[in-house]
Structure 1
Amino acid sequence: MECKTMSRDRYVAAMLLSGAGDALGYRNQLWEYCKSGPQIHTELQELGGLNNITASLPAWPVSDDTVLHLATGESLATGKLGEELYHDLAARYVTAMTDMEGRKPGPTSILGTSQLRPGEPGGYKIPFNPSATGCGAAMRSMCIGLRFPKPSELSLLVAVSVESGKMTHNHPTGYLGSLASAFFTSLSVRGVPLEQWGSLLLQTLPLALEYVRSTDPDVQRHLEVWDYFQQSWERYLSERGLLQGTGPAVFPSSYGPAERDVEYGQWSLDGWAGRSGHDAPMIAYDALLRAGDSWEELCSRAMFHGGDSDSTGVIAGCCWGVLYGLTGVPKGNYSHLEYKGRMEAVADALHKLTWGGH
């Protein structure tokens, strides 16, 4: 069954609140690199709370996450598909890396883009990287779900999210994060209940494995490290009582900023919560499950924690924007964002391509 047409306004909200989640979680490097959620919450109150924040330059720039998410979106907006799209994506990722002053791109994204040769045969592919487990692919792929949200387009969503992810993070933990962010955004568009998302993600992993088996000449190296992503998600979903896709989600009785720092840290690969491909979408999902229609609650959980808070914020903000629009969001949080015009243009173009101007 195909999904109902989603309004243009929700696409705009998805792109703007993704950028807002990034800028708020980043706070010009101050909060992305703060290891204490309680400290961030204290500093937020000293600023007068979320309602008092106008996320604009110079104090609240977007990070590498949004610059690369825009590169993905602007490439998808061309309407290209297949190899033509992949070369275009690669070219835009290379160009985006020239706009990284003060944005703190990850070393894996820097290395990956330096290896891309867009326009040359196979030039969008880079070698397998045993350490490319980071969230750099997950934090730029949400708009793939805006472009290919329909159930009939799932194989396209898998191919594009995996291929675009592999352009810098050619390791299952990295590029399956790209799939998770794109897939969750598509489920937002389709109106699928949140409690089902994790279970549906697990059901989609075999499609990704089949895609990698059929397209990657070095498939054995992927297979050797494939299971970590799935096992991490199975553990998390078991903890939340969501492994079968039926709710309600079960949360710890005490789950404030300090407790969340501990919990998020336990899901991480290297102690930095949200830094990896499996746990950036996981923290975003956890926040969405608990926040409901409260933007403030979403920010508290996804943007203001002692981990990679801009990367979890950029994913959570995009999905929340699709689900709830801009209602209840302080205008200052999104109305003066750096690159706001580009975000709106991407939303417009993706909406037209996906829904034919409805």
Structure 2
Amino acid sequence: MEERVPPVEAYEAAMVLSGVGDALGYRGGLWEYCTSGPRIHAELEALGGLEALCLCPPEWPVSDDTVLHLATAEALATGLEGEALLQELARRYVAAMGDMEGRKPGPTSLLGTSQLRPGEPGGYHIPFNPSGTGCGAAMRSLAIGLRYPRERDLPTLIQVSVDSGRMTHHHPTGYLGAVAVALFGALGARREPPERWGRALLRALPLAWAHVETLPEAPLNRQHWGHFGEAWLQYLESRGLAESDGPARLPPLPDAAARDAAYGAWALGGWAGRSGHDAPMVALEALLAAGDAWAPLCSRAALHGGDSDSTGTIAAGCWGLLHGLGPVPPGLHRHLEHRPRLVAAARRLHALAWAPR
């Protein structure tokens, strides 16, 4: 079957809106570290709502999420493959740490990049980290799906996701979040409905393990492997999506307080969206609930108590792939920090991904 090539504008919307979801959920650290969705929504209303916002520094910078997502995207945009790509990813992750003033990178990303030795043989490997469960690998991985969107690309997508994720988050809960977001990007590029994405993720996990079990640290990874898949199976069963393509059975979660309670129940330590398993989960829930409506997508993915910039990055980027920039108020993206780089990376990824083979 011939694959339909998405328009380059869909890639541009994915990259730009991933930055919008980040800047909105971050708000210079004020909302990323706020534990109360109702408080965030009250503050947004006092600002005049989404339509009144102009997302640009200094009040609305992008966080470490977009800086590291750009590092991934621009490394992939070089067209390098294999060992050379992994070295380039490591180099760019280390370099990105020079642009973290006021962006609040997570401690696991800081530790991981400090352990990388790009340019040395195997310098992109770091030791297993029993605490490396955070979402720092997930939030920077949508571009991997944009680079490897075709069905035949799946083995490469999984390998690059795992290996790039392990550069900072060498724990299955951390780097499998990268696999999830990359896969969602590939499926979105192919216009697969989000109702199918979770089942596709479960089918991909054995392929990810087939790669991980070749690593020297496989025994340590095996000990911690089960949580990610178990959490996702439980979520999909609760939404009627474990064995069917929907429609999803979503609880109403009509307000910010209800969403905070639901998201917190999925989280490790109660911090919604903080971990590699639940950041993509919050994003998928928001996509399923919001459909083609931009404002509800933001309310559910970027304006909740917890790690709202990371879930906003993932959800808004995926939403852009499906629905484009047209429905989004221009003030949210026209002056976004690093917008030209996001657009340039999107165009290059599209050209590489869909070149005739």
Provide TM-score, normalisation by structure 2. Answer: 0.98
Q: SS at 1:320's partner residue?
A: helix
Structure 1 position 4, deviation (Å): 0.7
Q: Which runs of 5+ in 2 are unaligned?
A: none
User: AA paired with 1:189?
Assistant: A
Structure 1 position 246, deviation (Å): 2.1
Matched, 1:43 2:24: no
The change in CA–CA distance for 1:46 and 1:73 in structure 2 (over 3 A counts) is same
Using the alignment, how far apart are the partners of 2:88 and 2:44 within structure 1? 40
User: AA paired with 2:334?
Assistant: S
Which residue pairs with 1:306 in the alignment? 305
Using the alignment, how far apart are the partners of 1:96 and 1:2 within structure 2? 38
Which residue pairs with 2:197 in the alignment? 197
Which residue pairs with 2:187 in the alignment? 187
Structure 1 position 314, deviation (Å): 0.3
User: AA paired with 1:307?
Assistant: G
Post-superposition Cα deviations, 1:290-345, rounded to whole Å, max 9, x if no partner, equal 10111101000000000100000000011101000012100011110110110011
Which residue pairs with 2:156 in the alignment? 156
Post-superposition Cα deviations, 1:94-143, rounded to whole Å, max 9, x if no partner, equal 00011100000000000000000001010000000001000000000000
User: AA paired with 2:295?
Assistant: E
Structure 1 position 270, deviation (Å): 1.2
Which residue pairs with 1:118 in the alignment? 118
User: AA paired with 2:109?
Assistant: S
Using the alignment, how far apart are the partners of 1:208 and 1:288 within structure 2? 25
Q: SS at 1:97's partner residue?
A: helix
Contact 1:86/1:164 (CA < 8 Å) preserved in 2?
Answer: yes
Which residue pairs with 2:4 in the alignment? 4
Contact 1:36/1:306 (CA < 8 Å) preserved in 2?
Answer: yes
Matched, 1:257 2:256: yes
User: AA paired with 2:306?
Assistant: G
Q: How does 1:1-80 map to 2 (within 5 A)?
A: 1=1, 3-80=3-80
**Count of aligned pairs between the two proteins:** 356
Which residue pairs with 2:176 in the alignment? 176
Q: Which runs of 5+ in 1 are unaligned?
A: none
Post-superposition Cα deviations, 1:60-82, rounded to whole Å, max 9, x if no partner, equal 00000000000000000000000
Structure 1 position 15, deviation (Å): 0.5
Q: How does 1:66-145 map to 2 (within 5 A)?
A: 66-145=66-145
Structure 1 position 253, deviation (Å): 3.8
Which residue pairs with 1:280 in the alignment? 279
Contact 2:253/2:259 (CA < 8 Å) preserved in 1?
Answer: no
Structure 1 position 256, deviation (Å): 1.6
Post-superposition Cα deviations, 1:5-63, rounded to whole Å, max 9, x if no partner, equal 01111111000000000000000001001101111111111100000011011110000
Using the alignment, how far apart are the partners of 1:254 and 1:66 within structure 2? 28
Q: SS at 1:98's partner residue?
A: helix
Contact 2:146/2:186 (CA < 8 Å) preserved in 1?
Answer: yes
Using the alignment, how far apart are the partners of 2:54 and 2:327 within structure 1? 15
Contact 1:2/1:151 (CA < 8 Å) preserved in 2?
Answer: no
Q: SS at 2:29's partner residue?
A: coil
Matched, 1:347 2:346: yes
Structure 1 position 255, deviation (Å): 3.2
Q: How does 1:205-354 map to 2 (within 5 A)?
A: 205-214=205-214, 216-354=215-353
Contact 1:197/1:245 (CA < 8 Å) preserved in 2?
Answer: no
The change in CA–CA distance for 1:127 and 1:58 in structure 2 (over 3 A counts) is same
Using the alignment, how far apart are the partners of 1:101 and 1:95 within structure 2? 13
Q: SS at 1:154's partner residue?
A: helix
Q: SS at 2:282's partner residue?
A: helix
Contact 1:147/1:354 (CA < 8 Å) preserved in 2?
Answer: yes
Structure 1 position 2, deviation (Å): 5.0
Identity of aligned residues (%): 60
Using the alignment, how far apart are the partners of 1:179 and 1:145 within structure 2? 9
User: AA paired with 2:194?
Assistant: L
Runs of 4+ in structure 1 deviating by more than 4 angstroms, as ranges, are none
Post-superposition Cα deviations, 1:129-172, rounded to whole Å, max 9, x if no partner, equal 00100000000000000000000000000000100000000000
Structure 1 position 250, deviation (Å): 1.1
Q: Cα RMSD (Å) of the superposition?
A: 0.9
Structure 1 position 356, deviation (Å): 2.7
Q: SS at 1:35's partner residue?
A: coil
Post-superposition Cα deviations, 1:182-233, rounded to whole Å, max 9, x if no partner, equal 000111011112111101100100000001112x111010000100000000
User: AA paired with 2:204?
Assistant: T
User: AA paired with 1:124?
Assistant: Y
Contact 1:198/1:245 (CA < 8 Å) preserved in 2?
Answer: no
User: AA paired with 1:284?
Assistant: A
Using the alignment, how far apart are the partners of 2:244 and 2:5 within structure 1? 25
